[in-house]
Amino acid sequence: MERRKFIQNSLISTTGIALGGSGLISASCQGANDKIVLALIGSGGRGLDTIINTCKLIENVELKTICDVKTSRLEIASFQIEKELGYKPGATKNMKEVFDDKDIDAVWIATPEHWHALATVWACQAGKDVYVEKNPTISIWEGRKMIEAAEKYNRIVQIGFQNRSAPYGFSARDYIQSGKLGKIVTVKSYNLLGGRKWMPQPDQATPDWIDWDAWLGPADYRPFNPAITNSDGRGGWLDFWSFGGGALSDDASHVMDLARMVIGDPSHPKSVYAKGGNWPWGSEKETPEFLSITYDFGDFTMTCDSGNGTNYMKKTPGDIRMDPNRFPDWRTNATRTEIYGTEGLMYLGRHGGGWQVVSENSEVVAQEGGIMPDVEHQKDFIGSLRTRKKPNGNVEQGQLSACLVHLGNIAYRIGNKQLYFDAENERFIENDKANNLLKTTYRDNYKIPEDV
């Protein structure tokens, strides 16, 4: 990097915490021809694949550093990046080193969910823009802190809800807004995945390939357990409340976010009811095997059926996801949305699959194919860094969609009950037990402050 640009970047980054809301932006993000320097935090398969693809597709984008508390993953990621991009990045186990690097403009956060919010806040405080994978939070309070940090430090924060950059999602929204579907009566989202019985594993001595304390980060300390994470894959952390929200926060979050987008991005629901449990297989995991949720939005309802009990249901096949001229078999499509209007029914696919509207006798009266929108979402993020315009997956909408996950899980966790929600204050009405789950606990040195 030439000296003039380095000095400009250093000035912006070092003053980011004090002057983040002043309108200053990273010099390297001002124009389409200026280099953007990225760092990857969490080098598992999802984060690694998407950031490599971004650097390949978009001019003047460079990956400088990868960060992971698993040395096993750092080795794999470093090899893959050198193979695909032709250069070897720096590597660290400490994300604070990434935030302190004045050359880095933006971070790509692909950690387990319990790290998303804290890493995002730290990045914003350090003057970095952020791409953070879904689900962006593990509690409602965390999302509000992410919004406050993005606003205070004038940062771009793009949530990895990729469907928000899907052209077929925009056309579905346009069709609904045209009135051709009629008045929306109800929206049904599905996340009907396969599974098997889950059994606990004994704790073990911490292996040498992981900094276990750093992996836990904000979560309460517990001994290493191989059911939570492993050396070369994601592991089962989604099965534990301390680290994620189960099947609902994994795939169902994508489905409900796209549903929200195409119907016009409603705010929080008035109430939520959930019923779930481990009845399909009788597992002993913390997050439920199956969960059925109903949200009351005032003049329409939205439901979500999510879990791991239906092995005959399948996500949209990969070949259809990448073919705009083909549509899935909606009857056995595991991750579809059905939007019922007074004039017709729209089927909507997640991560490709497009949409179709049917009338009487299942006659298709309108449709548009669509493919997996990863590329469009990556381009949108880099474009936002250069223009400073809000990205498609902006953090405010990410919070509203993430809250659907949290509302459903909280209603289940307090005993499969109906909860009434104060949207303005993001609190439950007259239910202390539910309000106790609005915010997770944090360990020393890993706390998000009230004032970010």
Question: What is the tens place of the pLDDT at every residue in 298-320?
Answer: 999 999 999 999 999 999 999 99
Closest CA to 349 of 365, 326, 381: 326
- Angle of CA points 247, 50, 150, to nearest 5°: 80
Residue 328 has pLDDT above 80, yes or no: yes
Question: pTM here?
Answer: 0.92
Confidence category of residue 15, pLDDT binned at 50, 70, 90: very low
Once rounded to an integer, what is the mean pLDDT over residues 252-258? 98
Distance CA 354, CA 34 (A): 35
Confidence category of residue 233, pLDDT binned at 50, 70, 90: confident
Could you report the per-residue pLDDT of 196-217, keeping only the tens digit for each? 999 999 999 999 999 999 999 9
Q: Which CATH class is domain 3-163+375-393?
A: alpha beta
Tokens of 169: 């999602």
Once rounded to an integer, what is the mean pLDDT over residues 440-448? 95
In the prediction, which pLDDT does 23 show? 32
**Mean pLDDT across the chain:** 93
Q: What are the backbone dihedrals phi and psi of residue 425, each rounded to the nearest 5 degrees, phi first?
A: -100, 0
Name residue 397's amino acid.
Q
Q: Which of residues 34 and 201 earns the better pLDDT score?
A: 201
Beta strands per DSSP E along 278-395: 290-296, 301-307, 337-341, 345-348, 355-358, 364-368
Once rounded to an integer, what is the mean pLDDT over residues 425-430? 98
Residue 185 has pLDDT above 70, yes or no: yes
In the prediction, which pLDDT does 33 show? 60
Residue 427 has pLDDT above 60, yes or no: yes
Could you report the per-residue pLDDT of 100-141, keeping only the tens digit for each? 999 999 999 999 999 999 999 999 999 999 999 999 999 999
In the prediction, which pLDDT does 234 show? 85
In the prediction, which pLDDT does 192 show? 98
Name residue 385's amino acid.
L
In the prediction, which pLDDT does 125 show? 98
Q: Which of residues 370 and 361 earns the better pLDDT score?
A: 370
Could you report the per-residue pLDDT of 64-99, keeping only the tens digit for each? 999 999 999 999 999 999 999 999 999 999 999 999
Distance CA 377, CA 99 (A): 24
Domain range list for the chain: 3-163+375-393
Distance CA 402, CA 139 (A): 8
In the prediction, which pLDDT does 17 show? 27
Q: What percent of the chain has pLDDT over 70?
A: 93
CA distances to 8, 196, 405 from 244, in Å = 39, 19, 10
Residue 10 has pLDDT above 90, yes or no: no
Q: Specify whether the CB–CB gap between 366 and 175 falls below 8 A.
A: yes
For residue 368, what is the enclosing H or E element? strand 364-368
323 Cβ contact list (under 8 Å, min separation 6): 369, 371
In the prediction, which pLDDT does 21 show? 30
